[in-house]
Amino acid sequence: MKTQAALSRRTILLMAVVTGVIVANLNFIQPIENLIAADFNLSKAVVGMLAMLTQLGYAFGLLLIVPLGDIFDRYHLIQFMMVLSILSMLLAFWSPNAGVFAVATTLVGITSVAPQIIIPYAGYLAPSLQRGKVLGIVLSGLLTGILLSRSFSGLLGSVMPWQDIYLIAAAIDLVFLAIVHFRLPHDARGHQDLNYLKVIGMLPKLFMTQRELRGSAINGFCLFGMSNVLWSTLAFYLAAQYHLGSNVAGLLGLLGIAGVLAAPMIGNMVDQRSPRLTVGLGMVFSGVAFLIFWLIGHWLLGLIVGIVLLDLGTQFSQVSNQAIVQSLNRRESSRNNSVFMFSYFLGGAIGTLSATWAWSHAGWTGVCGVAVVFLVIAIAGHLLIGEPEQLNAD
């Protein structure tokens, strides 16, 4: 009965919303890179590195903090990380110069890992035959937070100082911290008798000994890297090609609603068809998106169609790989998720850095070329390592 209550529709929706609210912290910087560059008198390459620091900080937070979900009560751990995230957002708001902001944005990344504690918690509680569907709903919240964060920061950045975005976001996070405290189910496992250093030391072994985890880590690295190739350079491209500002970059983020609406359907496809099929579809959608960006990205319609396809591809990859990873071993769910999401956001950080470098040296064609490199690696992993035809049963 406890498991049933923990997986009520209200609980699943709460997990989805909180996941979206917190993950939004990572993406505020992308539509306002031009504003930050102008305010701190930075080049586009340097402000691209600031965006990369957020993703890189998140990657290391995933590697070093998320495994604590297998040790500590996740109800308390989620709230503790939310408090640290709020403090980091306030530091970003206060930052008087680029150096302090670089530290702040790195800390925002490191501390905003609560969604990746919530996701394995949901996977742990879900019955095996419903895991894909439950994770699809929670991941819909994740993608909603990502796309609305871009719109939120892009639109607000056009009417107020960009620093205020971080202050408003911190206040919103504080409200949801209170909701989590009173509404999120307590973790019935309590604290586990595990040694942190041994848990961290197991991560390379988990990667090496689990073929499915390796395949998901490589695919997530590549497809999220492709997503960040676009979003880290879109504001620059809109300004250069169309003379448009951060508000339009934010509005284009709303096109990701297609991926949000598709997530539960993708979860059902993973459960009822094959995760190998859905991972393959993710690569197809993402590859076609960048083909469109390269050929007709100079037309706004081409950008719109490509963004919809890219967000669908990212969501197919994310939902499919999360379902695979959470089906491997319930006792190691946080550690497996840590390995997967570290690779995922490491790909995002490298995508951000390489795309801003390519933009500075080769423009939009160079940006699309970087995406092709990620796609080739993803296809190689798909063919050489592969994904399971069916999810593991408990």
Domain parsing of the chain, residue ranges: 2-384
pLDDT at 1: 35
Is the pLDDT assigned to residue 123 strictly greater than 80?
Answer: no
CB 134 within 8 A of CB 7: yes
- Measured between alpha carbons, how far is 344 from 223 in angstroms, rounded to an integer? 8
Is the pLDDT assigned to residue 155 strictly greater than 60?
Answer: yes
Least confident of 181-190, 197-206, 229-238: 181-190
pLDDT at 3: 42
Instruction: Count the neighbouring beta carbons within 10 Å of the beta carbon of residue 376.
Output: 12
- Measured between alpha carbons, how far is 249 from 153 in angstroms, rounded to an integer? 9
The arithmetic mean of pLDDT across residues 144-161, rounded, is 85
Which three-class secondary structure state does DSSP give residue 1?
coil
pLDDT at 374: 98
The predicted-structure confidence for 347-370, as pLDDT tens digits, reads as follows: 988 998 899 899 989 999 999 999
Output phi, psi for 193, to 5 deg: -85, 70
pTM for the whole thing? 0.75
Least confident of 126-135, 136-145, 286-295, 349-358: 126-135
The predicted-structure confidence for 161-176, as pLDDT tens digits, reads as follows: 999 999 999 999 999 9
The predicted-structure confidence for 321-339, as pLDDT tens digits, reads as follows: 988 887 887 677 778 888 8
Is the pLDDT assigned to residue 291 strictly greater than 80?
Answer: yes
Number of helices and strands (H, E) in the chain?
Answer: 17, 0
Least confident of 12-21, 100-109, 132-141, 351-360: 132-141
pLDDT at 6: 46
Instruction: Count the neighbouring beta carbons within 10 Å of the beta carbon of residue 93.
Output: 19
What is the pLDDT confidence band of residue 23, given thresholds at 50, 70 and 90? very high
CA distances from residue 281 to 276, 361, 377 in whole angstroms, order as listed: 9, 32, 16
- Measured between alpha carbons, how far is 320 from 316 in angstroms, rounded to an integer? 6
Is the pLDDT assigned to residue 125 strictly greater than 80?
Answer: no
State which amino acid sits at residue 338. S
pLDDT at 262: 80
CB 44 within 8 A of CB 356: yes
Q: What is the mean pLDDT of the chain?
A: 87
Domain 2-384: give its CATH code: 1.20.1250.20
Instruction: Count the neighbouring beta carbons within 10 Å of the beta carbon of residue 42.
Output: 17
The predicted-structure confidence for 34-48, as pLDDT tens digits, reads as follows: 889 889 998 877 888
pLDDT at 298: 86
Closest by CA to 320, choosing from 384, 224, 228, 202, is 224
Query: Chain centroid to CA 324: how far?
Result: 17
pLDDT at 129: 66
